[in-house]
Amino acid sequence: MVAKNSPIPLPGSCAACAVRPFALFRVVPQARVGEIARVRSAVRLVRANEAIRDSVFTLYAGWAFSWTTTPDGRRQILDFHLPGDLVERSEDGAEVSALTDTSFCVLAKDRLCEFMGRDPGLALSYADGLVRDRARLRERLTSLGRRDAMGRVAHLLLELHGRLSRRGGADRTGAPLPLKQAHLADALGLSVEHANRALAALRRDGVASFQKGRLDILDRTAMEDLAGWSTTPAQPVLTRIGA
């Protein structure tokens, strides 16, 4: 199903969901997939740069990001959200916006909690997501505190490439990334000028190129060295339960 005048697909049947294999409900057996539909309360399409007001949702297509601002109006991007991610809007002042045209399934929080209460596998899948989010944000904090501009940019690009790879949205040498340099700067505590210089240095040194929405990894070993990249991901609480 496709929204009129939009290339962004809308979520359809839960049984045929393209993102379920790497989303919260991946552990629910096919025979019980009808229970997921009872948790979904709505389907939305939000245009790029518009705010997302729903409290809990699973991204189906497109990208979104969470952000906050300082008292003087400077934006800090807290995280980027990709298809399959469960997003929960906090009540601490953080906002969520669509980075591209985006579609998602809105989940009823009370029904989701009830589902997890009677399904330990789903509760563990939720906990697994929290572990991965915490590991990712720990690395982001390390970047802000200890990595130089090139290291910060290299680490974030490797992170996004890895997340896309696990979803089948990247090849070994690169991926489409619908980011602008301002997004990189605001996620990494840099000015746009510093982010631009870091990207130019990565390209000049033959490490990576990020141009026109496309990341090309030219020398992965050098890029990992710059980023202080660990090849050991956070250990998940589970891999898969049910079939």
> What are the pLDDT digits (tens) for 141-174?
999 999 999 999 999 999 999 999 999 999 999 9
Whole-number Å distance between alpha carbons of 229 and 92: 31
Q: What are the φ/ψ torsions at residue 212 (nearest 5 degrees)?
A: 55, 40
Residues β-bridged to residue 214: 176, 211
Residue 227: per-residue pLDDT: 97
Three-state SS annotation for 172-240: CCEEECCCCHHHHHHHHCCCHHHHHHHHHHHHHCCCEEEECCEEEECCHHHHHHHHCCCCCCCCCCCCC
Single-letter amino acid, residue 17: C
Predicted TM-score of the model (pTM) = 0.91
Band the pLDDT of 238: cuts 50, 70, 90: very low
For 84-117, the pLDDT digits (tens) are 999 999 777 789 999 999 999 999 999 999 999 9
Whole-number Å distance between alpha carbons of 227 and 230: 9
Residue 243: per-residue pLDDT: 33
Three-state SS annotation for 205-223: CCCEEEECCEEEECCHHHH
Domains of the chain, each with CATH number or no CATH:
14-130 (2.60.120.10), 147-227 (1.10.10.10)
CB 155 within 8 A of CB 148: no
For 185-233, the pLDDT digits (tens) are 999 999 999 999 999 999 999 999 999 999 999 999 999 999 999 865 4
Measured from the Cβ of residue 117, the count of other Cβ atoms closer than 10 Å reads: 10
Which among 16, 23, 14, 18 is positioned nearest to 86, based on CA atoms? 23
Whole-number Å distance between alpha carbons of 92 and 76: 14
Q: What are the φ/ψ torsions at residue 157 (nearest 5 degrees)?
A: -65, -40
